Amino acid sequence: MSRIATIAHELCSNLDEQNRVWQRLLTLSQAQLEALTVGNVHAVHAILQDIEMAMLDRSRTEVRRGMLMEQAAKELGVSASDVTRDLITAQCDAPIGAALAASADQLRVMAHELDLVVAKNKVLLEQELAIIDVLVQGVTVDRTATKTYAKTGSQAEAPRLRLLDAQV
């Protein structure tokens, strides 16, 4: 077996591992979306911790893939940025090429699905933060105070009440 074929086998295993990690991230993000939708703060927090651990796994597999791509580049005599799936599959047998293509396509689809779920999560979180901001402003800003001008001539912010500070 040639060195590039060995690298292709390792790359295929790495892509399978990446697919496993990305599937876990997708599942966790979907669970987080459900928890955000029903307002389950404890579940959101617990899932976020699991997502952080999965992100560490994702980083590890990305680093390994980068190392394999550099090895392939060295073996093929090109720069690492010029290494493509087609270039590698042209150097190995058809079953490995097909496995690489299938794993890469699956990873691409999963990344797209994850992007969609993360975008929905982001919108829900931003909405929750906006609601919290309105509530905090409503509780801490003295609306009865008249606005004054500071020494620089700019309008000073209305004084804040110390309600939240007193409770903490």
| Residue ranges per structural domain of the chain | 3-120
pLDDT tens digits for the chain (168 residues)? 688 889 999 999 999 999 999 999 999 999 999 999 998 989 999 999 999 999 999 999 999 999 999 999 999 999 988 998 888 888 888 899 899 989 999 999 999 999 999 999 999 989 988 888 888 877 777 666 565 555 665 555 555 555 555 454
Give the DSSP letter string of the chain. Answer: --HHHHHHHHHHHHHHHHHHHHHHHHHHHHHHHHHHHHT-HHHHHHHHHHHHHHHHHHHHHHHHHHHHHHHHHHHHTS-GGG--HHHHHTTS-HHHHHHHHHHHHHHHHHHHHHHHHHHHHHHHHHHHHHHHHHHHHHHHB-TTSPP-B-TTSSBPPPPBPSHHHHH-
